[in-house]
Structure 1
Amino acid sequence: MAGVDAEKDPVWMTSAMLKAYTHPLRRQILRLFARREYLRAADIATELDVAPNSASFHLRTLADAGLIVEAPDRARDRRDRVWTHVKGAMSVGDPEHPVADAELGGAVLRAIASEHQDLVQRVIAWSPEYFEGRSTEIHALFQQRTIRLTDAEFSALVRVFDEAASAADEAHDEKDPDGRFWQIDLIAADDTI
């Protein structure tokens, strides 16, 4: 990943990344990294209730794929292995960066869509508490907007979303006790789909 500023440019997923990402436990591990930033195999084993050797195996697979990197400056000693995730947007591919394995790319998209459907169902289950006034805390948002854009304008809008998310993440005070983790799924489709 040297030379790639994943905060500004999307990382185009390699076949190794796609293969690693298809495994549900590895996706859970990556989501855990988003919450905790630095993790050891023992942390993952405890948090996700998996065997430590299984956590180590999946960490090595994620590292070999380039989705996580070692953070030796966080280690207690030379035997201690601490990992962190590669930040920023990951993209399966596009016409300028075609995916090498279409079946693997499709598997990743199906996995992401399945998790998105699960998120939508959780939001639907919670929403009546909010819109019926039983809860004043915001825990989710459904928002829909239709706008007319060219391909270039749409790409620019996506970059603005990415930049805004990165800026909000950087500006967040880690010590603020009111901070919560938000999973943000943006979905867009034009009128030809």
Structure 2
Amino acid sequence: MNKPFSQACENNKAPILCVIKPYLMHYERVLEIGSGTGQHAVYFAEQLPHLTWQTSDRVQNHTGIKSWIADSHVHNVIEPVALDLNNPWPVAKVPAIYTANTLHIVSKELVEKFFQGIRAHLAKEGLLCIYGPFNYHGQFTSDSNAQFNSLLKNNDPHSGIRDFEWIESLSQQAGLSLLKDHAMPANNRLLLFKR
């Protein structure tokens, strides 16, 4: 099969790595929620050889992720586990969790379930990294984000760019504190939380 490909992943992988690398140097294992195409997983695993990168996604995306892993020949990335936010997570406690461009795709209910999963599965002193677009005080940070939100809503009324303040509140309820809110290219953010 032709591997799935995301130009956005290709564009943002290096800027994301620059931010997360210093934080992840202190961890040995990362669970990625919603590995999508698998591009981030193989790139980060290659660039961070000290850690094990565990992919996860819904089953329908596994074939593409596995093809990226197989072609990469990277030995510290693990084939995906079936993880659907509607269901219990098939993992134990993990030291670090990463997700990119997921919270605006899923419904608000699933965002809440995401943080319930974080509360149950992120280890003490654990790190949570969330990449994507966010609103602040209910306002879009750019015209392009407003247009993107309209596109999301047209495809799925339950999706949409989330408010940073709501995400921070959910993280606090899950026992986490905000470490850093990094500005990223293309009007995205990288939020880092720690338990």
TM over 0.5: no
* Higher RCO (CA 8 Å, separation ≥ 6 residues): 1
Larger-Rg structure: 1
Structure with the higher fraction of residues in helix conformation? 1
Structure with the higher fraction of residues in strand conformation? 2
TM-score under structure 2 length normalisation: 0.27
